[in-house]
Amino acid sequence: MPKKFKGENSKVTAAKEKKAAVQADKDSKQRAVKEQKEAAEWAAGAKKSREDEERKKAERLARKAEAAALLAQEEAALGRGGKNASPTPSGKKAKGVGVSELPFAVPAPRSAAKKAAEKTAVVVTFTAEPVPEYSASGIDAALELLDIATTADAVQTKTVRKEDAIDRHPERRAKAAWLAYKERETPKIKAENPGLRLSQIEQMLWKQWQKSPENPFNQATVAYNATAEDERQAISERKEAALERMRTK
């Protein structure tokens, strides 16, 4: 609230307060537009990164399949040419040696076509699998999606990252979080509802706070004596729920 100087007209003071409230609302809207723009840029970057990685994997598998097919063709060509490579001396007819007379069993070679088909089948199966897509609205949601995408295997480890840790005592943060929320949201409520009394504004804020994701009691929690396995399970469920919420198809 602007400082009221001695002798200042009450109408002037009211005008200053209204001007400050309008400016605060304008700043809030500008921040919201900026956050939406940044969130869209983050989501587009994450999607392009996934598409590039999938394309590179498909190209690597295709190159391996092609190399395997060429190698099989060369082996088959060498096998056909080796039948007449060593002529029988003194014009004598060479005596054939049966497979049963060999000191070890020789497995039948796979054909080049069969090897190539096996490699190609892997590529077809890989590329045919649908790739899930996700979208995030707001900078916080975009950062959450990016964190999940880059740490997909972190939950499988034996330790829990500090940034993934689940709150064991939400009641310790509840008061400070409520005061910060109240201080930030009060000017917005005043600007949108200039005729409300302070008690009415606080009641409205409290109802919003009960459903706000900033409320520690609305966030994922575990018991204070939960095991590491319980915490990893809670983290996994939280991330799966977030992905399901942001899935587009």
Locate all alpha helices (DSSP H) within the chain, ordered by sequence.
10-81, 112-128, 139-150, 171-192, 198-211, 228-246
The token pair that represents 121 in the structure block: 């089948």
Residue type, 124: V
Read off the pLDDT of each residue in 10-20 and give the average, rounded to a whole number.
86
pLDDT tens for 172-227 read 778 888 999 999 999 998 999 888 899 999 999 999 988 887 887 776 555 555 56
- Nearest 5 degrees, angle CA 100-CA 105-CA 107? 120
pLDDT tens for 106-145 read 455 566 666 666 665 555 444 555 666 766 666 766 766 6
CB 192 within 8 Å of CB 32: no
pLDDT at 99: 45
Question: Cα–chain-centroid distance for residue 204?
Answer: 35
pLDDT tens for 56-102 read 988 999 899 899 888 888 888 887 655 444 445 454 444 544 544 44
Q: What is the DSSP letter of 82?
A: G
**What are phi and psi for residue 134, nearest 5 degrees?**
-135, 155
Rounded distance between C-alpha atoms, residue 178 and residue 214, angstroms: 8
pLDDT at 217: 77
